[in-house]
């Protein structure tokens, strides 16, 4: 049986990298007394699949992983067990039993939404909001994106599904697929580079709001609906 877990990450834990978060949950699942399934072979390991890794320094309310279990009581019981062993900075928000046909968390990711705030050290141009909306309203935003295979030119506009200025923050919904992942800081850096603005060190505070998959009708929906 497969279970999907949604969790948040905040506070000092935001500086813990993805691999360490994976190892943390492997230990937490054992402490919680979850009857997790293990792989076969010479070096068995817990069968887990994490969704899109969160960059170090970012916070989130939309992190996910799947795990296979041998036995299952109910979603509320597992939620309570996991939260009893969580450290400060990680909260388990939802637990959902998955149907057999559901793809794993990592392969299912198609989009992610973010809120971007600015460092107190960053003196923003007075007209940045209007300029940012004008930047997004372009029909095409050609950029060079670095990949594992080198560099390639893409149309950034195609990868930004939604963008809004909300007060002094920027909300964006972007492509987060495995082969086309767009990071929110890349969008922000592209904009400020084109305005000639010099960015200070660590100019953005980024919070992932949610992680999405494609529903059968093509719409983006959270990994736990």
* Helix 128-136 and helix 184-194, axial crossing angle in degrees, nearest 10: 110
- Residue 198 has φ and ψ, to the nearest 5°, of -85, 125
Structure token pair of residue 122 = 């960053």
pLDDT of residue 152: 85
Long-range pairs for 218-225 at CB < 8 Å and ≥24 separation?
220/110, 220/111, 220/161, 220/173, 222/62, 223/4, 223/6, 223/51, 223/62, 223/64, 223/105, 223/108, 223/109, 224/4, 224/6, 224/64, 224/94, 224/96
Element (H, E) at 97: strand 90-97
Mean pLDDT of successive 10-residue stretches along the chain, which has 225 residues: 96 96 96 94 90 95 96 92 97 94 89 96 91 94 83 92 95 90 94 92 96 94 93
At 149 the pLDDT is 74
- What pLDDT was estimated at residue 178? 77
Closest-CA residue to 171 (of 145, 222, 206): 206
Which of 119, 196, 175 shows the shortest CA–CA distance to 186?
A: 175
pLDDT (0 to 100) of residue 103: 85
Closest CA to 26 of 68, 62, 63, 56: 68
Neighbouring C-beta atoms of residue 99, cutoff 10 Å: 7
pTM over 0.85: yes
């Amino acid at each position: 049986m497969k279970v999907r877990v949604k969790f948040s990450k905040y506070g000092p834990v935001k500086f813990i990298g993805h691999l360490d978060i994976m190892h943390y949950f492997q230990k937490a699942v054992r402490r919680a007394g979850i009857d997790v399934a293990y792989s076969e072979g010479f070096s068995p390991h817990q069968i887990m699949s994490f969704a899109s890794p969160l960059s170090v320094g970012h916070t989130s309310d939309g992190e996910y992983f799947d795990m296979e279990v041998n036995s299952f009581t109910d979603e509320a019981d597992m939620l309570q067990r996991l939260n009893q062993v969580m450290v400060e900075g990680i909260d388990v928000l939802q637990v959902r039993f998955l149907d057999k046909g559901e793809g794993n968390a990592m392969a299912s990711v198609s989009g992610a939404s973010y809120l971007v705030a600015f460092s107190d050290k960053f003196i923003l141009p007075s007209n940045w909001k209007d300029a940012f909306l004008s930047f997004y309203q372009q029909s095409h935003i050609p950029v060079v994106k670095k990949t594992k295979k080198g560099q390639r030119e893409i149309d950034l506009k195609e990868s930004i599904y939604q963008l809004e200025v909300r007060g002094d923050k920027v909300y964006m919904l972007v492509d987060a697929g495995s082969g086309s992942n767009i990071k929110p800081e890349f969008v922000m850096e592209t904009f400020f580079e084109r305005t000639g603005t010099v960015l200070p060190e660590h100019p953005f505070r980024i919070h992932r709001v949610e992680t999405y998959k494609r529903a059968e009708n093509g719409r983006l929906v959270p990994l736990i609906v």
